[in-house]
Amino acid sequence: MIEKIYEEEFAQYVLQADYPVVVDFYADWCGPCKMLAPILEQLERDNDDFGFYKVNVDENSELAAKYHVFTIPNVVIFKNGRDIAQSIGLKPAEEMQKILDGIK
C-alpha cells in the first residue's frame, strides 16, 4: 500500500529524495482516484527505483495548489526536488508505465 504523507513531510520524502518520486494527489470521495489506486500500487511493485506516496488534497490544499493540482486524480512525478511530469485523470497502467520509463 502506498504511504500517505502530509505537507510537513513532503520536503523530506519527495523533494529531498535521491530517486524519482511519484505523488498521487487524491481525495477519499473521488471515484476515479479509487480506480487509479490499484494501478499505482502495481506500478509501485514493478518500479522499485521510484518512491510512491499519496497526498490527500482536502487535507493538504496549500500543497496541492502549489503544484497546480486543480483536478484529481493527479499524479505528479518529482526528480531532484522538481516536478518533471504530470498525469491528470485516470490512465491505464501501460500509459503510466510509459511515463515512468521516460524518467528512468
Nearest to 86 by CA among 30, 24, 29: 24
Round to whole Å and give the CA distance between 60 and 56: 6
Nearest to 10 by CA among 44, 70, 65, 60: 60
pLDDT digits (tens, 9 = 90+) for 12-35: 999 999 999 999 999 999 999 999
Is 40 catalytic? The answer is no
pLDDT digits (tens, 9 = 90+) for 48-99: 999 999 999 999 999 999 999 999 999 999 999 999 999 999 999 999 999 9
Query: Residue 12 sits in which domain range?
Result: 3-101
The catalytic position among 33, 36, 39, 40 is 33
Partners of 21 in the β-ladder: 51, 78
Is 33 catalytic? The answer is yes
CATH number, domain of 78, equals 3.40.30.10
Nearest to 75 by CA among 24, 38, 7: 24
Q: What is the count of structural domains for the chain?
A: 1
CB crowding 54-78: b at 16 or more within 10 Å, else e: bbbbeebeebbeebebeebbbbbbb
The catalytic position among 5, 30, 64, 76 is 30
